[in-house]
């Protein structure tokens, strides 16, 4: 059905895809794995000739025997969506915010004169028919993504291309969306080309797997075999990056003796208007201890972290740091913030694009008036964060660095104040698989060398298994279960923890 | 070089010439040549060898009046624009950063000035306050800041929503730090562009006020020239040379400022 022969794509002199050969038959599911910049999305977009004008495409792209490259404009329009359609990443941005989703699903049907009803399509993706009248912002992330799938199926295509369909979703919703996609592929005998950086997602849905690296397909075969016995070092790096819960080899944190408490949260309540985001939470973090706070999006874990940092006022309850209650205002709060530092999820937005690395790292020093010897302190912090030699990076602007390097700069900016607790909100979620492992190792090394305690907020149970000493599971504002990693993740006591664990895709 | 660069440079060239004329004219022009009691030429003379642009109703040279008026128009335009952009930036940043009751109050004030016709308000102000250049600057500056305030507030809100501002707060940075290190640097380019465009509209506003007879009667400006021309019957005299030059001068300088503003806008807007 789809056949790529010797496909190469150049942007100017830069080759982003080189000599890719792929075939896909009806009913077949093919996963395309790779990191950002590996060319996997470019391959997908080339199938429907959706690449920008600057792209130079060579080779053959045969869709049902016709070469997409040489198709007439009219024929291409007929082929798009009716023969092959795409489920785009980030459904929030791919849906028009001012039109009802039902109209948007119907749009390709109207353009192609396809018969059929929006209601049936919504039923196929397990959405109630009333949702057709909803606007995108009235739907949750998982519902929006299902609308995107319904839209892709509107004209009865035989090939569906899914570009990172679940990337922004948390585990439970991801599992639901993947289940819908899998069922539809099986029922309607569709060909599915699924693109993801996450091998476990591809393992869940695809029979065959191709791994891309720097524009080339470096390995392909049956998914199980590729993941079980990776032959190419890059594939091995990708598989290693996704920890298997319960596998001692993926447990990187060394066992620590029970430490004395550094931070204690007592009966903390935070309200947003009438909504209770955090509902009576008790949490303790010991000196040099790494605690993972896991839960779905909306469970209140980020609000809890913000409140601990003093960025939000709690409605009631206490935060005790090092034996003293944390002040809410003034000098005492400022002094507390020297001790506790924040690492955010997306490093590219956590750095001011106008500030150099030096400025970004030195910002904390300037805030606290530690002006003397700035240069030496910044250099030391940057090198601690493993950007060596520091002189190479100090004058760089954030956009000149890779995602992993940016995250190291954010960590260096936290380290420069010599904090005792690091609060990290999804510290590796937006990083590539190979970088992820390095950042996890860095956090563990900082704990070992500096005795730095961390509160890691994540929806990724694998990360918790890899790094944490203790896990606290948060659900609807409450901590429903906490204990040592082994205890919580291997013998979960609460139903919600079990549900979370079930939703984790199995490699 | 893009189209914007070229038109921007042309605008900058025109402005350079205008600024030169404004600076040099008062030094070179003899005070007697503009004194109605001492001029020797006849009234309403058409352009010719003696007077390039003819003479007005009192026999003064229109060319000299035009040159003398450049300074007033540019001065009022620049100072009024600085005043208006200054107020607008301050209100915008304060209301965007602090929020709450203060922002609510500031925004209602902004809305008040926004819905009131600026010209009517300026006329009211300049009739109440003592006559003079300062009054005109004040009248224009106080009535034209709301759009800048709205824009700066929007930009401030955008920046404050970015995670790097949250990071700065978590580092312990207070209001001063966030405003000085993150908000102001990102607002400044926008404000600069806005200022050049504000100069253009301030010059038009000054001319309008002067044309309506609300200007400083002791000073020559382009608007005042048009006022005089209209008052003393340049139209029945068919003295086009008294009406056209100040009108065209306003158009050319305003256009020049607009072109420079547009070019700057293209420079500071980040490309994707």
Give the pLDDT score at B59: 80
Contacting residues of A for B172, CB less than 8 Å apart? 333-334, 337-338, 364, 367-368
CB proximity B166 to A under 8 Å = yes
Q: Tokens 């109207």 correspond to what residue?
A: A110
Q: How far apart (Å, rounded) are the C-alpha atoms in residues A135 and A274?
A: 24
Q: Strand order in A261-272's β-sheet?
A: A275-286, A261-272, A316-321, A324-325
CB proximity B177 to A under 8 Å = yes
The complex scores an ipTM of 0.75
Domain A2-240 in CATH 3.30.830.10? The answer is no
Give the pLDDT score at A224: 87
Mean pLDDT to the nearest integer, B115-127: 84
Q: Who contacts B57 (Cβ-Cβ below 8 Å, separation ≥6)? A: B43, B44, B228, B232, B233, B234, B237, B242
Q: Say which residue, B68 or A237, is predicted with more confidence.
A: B68
> Are A239 and A225 in contact, with CB atoms under 8 Å apart?
no
pLDDT beyond 50 at B114: yes
Mean pLDDT to the nearest integer, A77-90: 85
Mean pLDDT to the nearest integer, A183-201: 87
Q: How far apart (Å, rounded) are the C-alpha atoms in residues A343 and A425?
A: 6
Mean pLDDT to the nearest integer, A140-154: 88
pLDDT beyond 70 at A160: yes
Give the pLDDT score at B1: 53
Minimum mean pLDDT among A133-147, A160-174, A218-232: which range? A160-174
Q: How far apart (Å, rounded) are the C-alpha atoms in residues B202 and A119?
A: 58
pLDDT by residue (tens digit) across B49-106?
Answer: 777 788 888 888 888 889 888 998 999 999 999 999 999 999 999 999 998 899 999 9
> Are B203 and B253 in contact, with CB atoms under 8 Å apart?
yes
Give the pLDDT score at A91: 65
> Are A213 and A234 in contact, with CB atoms under 8 Å apart?
yes
Q: Who contacts A418 (Cβ-Cβ below 8 Å, separation ≥6)? A: A338, A450
Question: B271: which DSSP letter?
Answer: P
Element of type H or E holding B7: helix B3-28
pLDDT by residue (tens digit) across B237-258?
Answer: 888 888 899 999 999 999 999 9
List A residues 283-342 in contact with B (Cβ-Cβ < 8 A): 309, 311, 333-334, 337-338, 340-342
Q: Say which residue, B49 or A391, is predicted with more confidence.
A: A391
Where are any strands of DSSP class E within chain B?
Answer: none
* Distances in whole angstroms, Cα of residue B94 to Cα of each of A27, B30, B111, B149: 60, 49, 16, 10
CB proximity A349 to B under 8 Å = yes
Question: Domain segments of chain B: what residues?
Answer: 3-28+76-83+118-143+173-268
Element of type H or E holding A283: strand A275-286
Give the pLDDT score at B265: 79
Q: What is the mean pLDDT of chain A?
A: 87
pLDDT by residue (tens digit) across A312-347?
Answer: 888 999 899 988 888 877 788 888 888 999 998 888
Q: Tokens 């896990």 correspond to what residue?
A: A471
Query: Using the beta-carbon criterion (under 8 Å), do A413 and B181 form an inter-chain contact?
Result: no
pLDDT beyond 90 at A241: no
Give the pLDDT score at B270: 55
Q: Who contacts B242 (Cβ-Cβ below 8 Å, separation ≥6)? A: B54, B56, B57, B62, B225, B229, B234
Mean pLDDT to the nearest integer, A473-493: 90
pLDDT by residue (tens digit) across B5-61?
Answer: 888 899 999 999 999 999 988 888 877 777 777 777 777 887 877 777 888 888 888
Minimum mean pLDDT among A87-91, A186-190, A265-269: which range? A87-91
Domain A261-350+419-503 in CATH 3.40.50.300? The answer is yes
Instruction: Report the candidate in A300, A144, A353 with the shortest Cα–Cα distance to residue B158.
Output: A353
CB proximity B163 to A under 8 Å = yes
Q: How far apart (Å, rounded) are the C-alpha atoms in residues A411 and A406?
A: 9
Contacting residues of A for B170, CB less than 8 Å apart? 309, 311, 337, 340-342
CB proximity B174 to A under 8 Å = yes
Residues of chain A with CATH 3.40.50.300: 2-240, 261-350+419-503
CB proximity A344 to B under 8 Å = yes
Query: Using the beta-carbon criterion (under 8 Å), do A350 and B168 form an inter-chain contact?
Result: no
Give the nearest partner residue to A337 out of B164, B170, B182, using CB atoms.
B170
In this prediction, residue B271 has a pLDDT band, given cuts at 50, 70 and 90, of very low
Mean pLDDT to the nearest integer, B130-157: 90
pLDDT beyond 50 at B272: no
Mean pLDDT to the nearest integer, A118-132: 89
How many angstroms separate the CA of residue A309 from the nearest CA in chain B? Answer: 7
pTM of the model: 0.79
Question: What's the sign of the alpha-carbon dihedral A456, A459, A461, A466?
Answer: negative
Query: Using the beta-carbon criterion (under 8 Å), do A367 and B185 form an inter-chain contact?
Result: no
Mean pLDDT to the nearest integer, A302-317: 88
- First vs last C-alpha separation in chain B: 19
Question: A506: which DSSP letter?
Answer: P
Mean pLDDT to the nearest integer, A381-398: 88
Query: Using the beta-carbon criterion (under 8 Å), do A352 and B182 form an inter-chain contact?
Result: yes
pLDDT by residue (tens digit) across A89-107?
Answer: 766 778 898 999 999 999 9
pLDDT beyond 80 at A144: yes
Please return the burial class of B127, using the count of CB atoms within 10 Å of its CB with bins 0-12, 13-18 and 19+. exposed
């Amino acid at each position: 059905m789809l056949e790529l022969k010797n496909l190469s794509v150049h942007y100017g002199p830069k080759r982003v895809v080189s000599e890719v050969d792929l075939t896909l038959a009806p009913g077949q599911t093919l996963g395309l794995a790779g990191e950002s910049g590996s060319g996997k999305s470019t391959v997908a977009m080339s199938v429907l000739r959706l690449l920008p004008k600057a792209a130079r495409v060579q080779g053959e792209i045969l869709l049902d025997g016709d070469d997409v490259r040489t198709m007439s404009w009219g024929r291409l329009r007929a082929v798009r969506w009716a023969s092959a359609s795409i489920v785009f990443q980030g459904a929030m941005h791919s849906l028009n915010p001012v039109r009802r989703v039902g109209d948007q699903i119907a749009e390709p049907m109207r353009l192609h004169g396809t018969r059929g009803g929006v209601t049936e399509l919504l039923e196929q993706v397990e959405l109630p028919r009333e949702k057709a009248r909803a606007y995108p912002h009235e739907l949750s992330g998982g519902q929006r993504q299902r609308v995107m799938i319904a839209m892709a199926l509107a004209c009865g295509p035989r090939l569906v291309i899914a570009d990172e369909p679940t990337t922004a979703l948390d585990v439970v919703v991801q599992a639901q969306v993947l289940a819908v996609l899998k069922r539809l592929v099986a029922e309607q005998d569709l060909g599915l080309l699924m693109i993801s950086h996450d091998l476990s997602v591809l393992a869940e849905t695809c029979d065959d797997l191709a791994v891309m690296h720097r524009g080339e397909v470096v390995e392909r075969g049956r998914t199980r075999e590729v993941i079980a016995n990776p032959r190419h070092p890059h594939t091995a790096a990708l598989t290693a990056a996704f920890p298997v819960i319960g596998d001692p080899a993926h447990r990187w944190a060394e066992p620590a003796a029970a430490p004395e408490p550094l931070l204690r949260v007592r009966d903390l309540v935070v309200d947003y208007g009438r909504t209770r985001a955090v509902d009576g939470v008790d949490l303790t973090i010991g000196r040099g201890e790494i605690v993972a706070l896991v839960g779905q999006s909306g469970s209140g874990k980020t609000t809890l972290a913000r409140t601990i940092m003093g960025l939000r006022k709690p409605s009631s309850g206490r935060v005790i740091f090092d034996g003293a209650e944390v002040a809410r205002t003034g000098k005492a709060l400022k002094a507390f913030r020297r001790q506790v530092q924040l690492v955010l999820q997306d490093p590219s937005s956590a750095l001011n694009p106008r500030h150099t690395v030096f400025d970004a790292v030195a910002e904390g020093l300037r805030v606290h008036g530690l002006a003397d010897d700035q240069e030496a302190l910044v250099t030391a912090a940057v090198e601690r964060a493993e950007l060596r030699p520091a002189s190479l990076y100090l004058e760089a602007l954030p956009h000149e660095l890779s995602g992993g390097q940016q995250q190291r700069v954010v960590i260096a900016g936290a380290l420069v104040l010599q904090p005792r607790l690091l609060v990290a909100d999804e510290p590796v979620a937006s990083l590539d698989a190979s970088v992820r492992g390095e950042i996890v190792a860095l956090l563990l090394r900082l704990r070992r060398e500096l005795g730095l305690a961390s509160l890691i907020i994540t929806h990724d149970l694998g990360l918790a298994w890899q790094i944490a000493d203790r896990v606290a599971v948060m659900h609807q504002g409450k901590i429903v279960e906490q204990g040592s990693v082994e205890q919580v993740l291997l013998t979960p006591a609460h139903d919600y923890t079990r549900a979370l664990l079930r939703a984790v895709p199995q490699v | 070089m893009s189209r914007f660069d070229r038109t921007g440079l042309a605008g900058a060239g025109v402005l350079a010439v205008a600024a030169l004329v404004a600076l040099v004219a008062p030094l070179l022009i003899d005070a007697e040549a503009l004194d109605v009691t001492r001029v020797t030429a006849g009234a309403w003379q058409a352009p010719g060898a003696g007077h390039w642009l003819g003479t007005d109703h009192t026999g003064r040279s229109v060319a000299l009046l035009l040159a003398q008026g450049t300074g007033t128009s540019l001065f009022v335009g620049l100072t009024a624009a600085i005043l208006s952009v200054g107020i607008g930036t301050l209100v915008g940043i304060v209301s965007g950063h602090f929020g709450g009751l203060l922002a609510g109050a500031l925004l209602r004030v902004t809305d008040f000035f926004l819905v009131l016709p600026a010209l009517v308000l300026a006329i009211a102000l300049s009739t109440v306050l003592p006559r003079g250049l300062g009054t005109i600057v004040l009248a224009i500056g106080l009535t034209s800041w709301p759009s800048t305030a709205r824009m700066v507030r929007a930009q401030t809100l955008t920046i404050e929503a970015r995670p790097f501002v949250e990071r700065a707060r978590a580092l312990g940075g207070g209001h001063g730090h966030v405003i000085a290190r993150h908000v102001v640097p990102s607002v400044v380019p926008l404000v600069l562009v806005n200022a050049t465009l504000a100069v253009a509209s301030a010059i038009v506003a000054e001319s309008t006020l002067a044309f309506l007879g609300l200007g400083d009667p002791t000073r020559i400006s382009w608007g005042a020239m048009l006022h005089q021309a209209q008052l003393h019957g340049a139209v029945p005299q068919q003295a086009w040379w008294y009406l056209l030059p100040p009108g065209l001068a306003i158009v050319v300088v305003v256009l020049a400022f607009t072109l420079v503003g547009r070019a700057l806008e293209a420079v500071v807007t980040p490309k994707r």
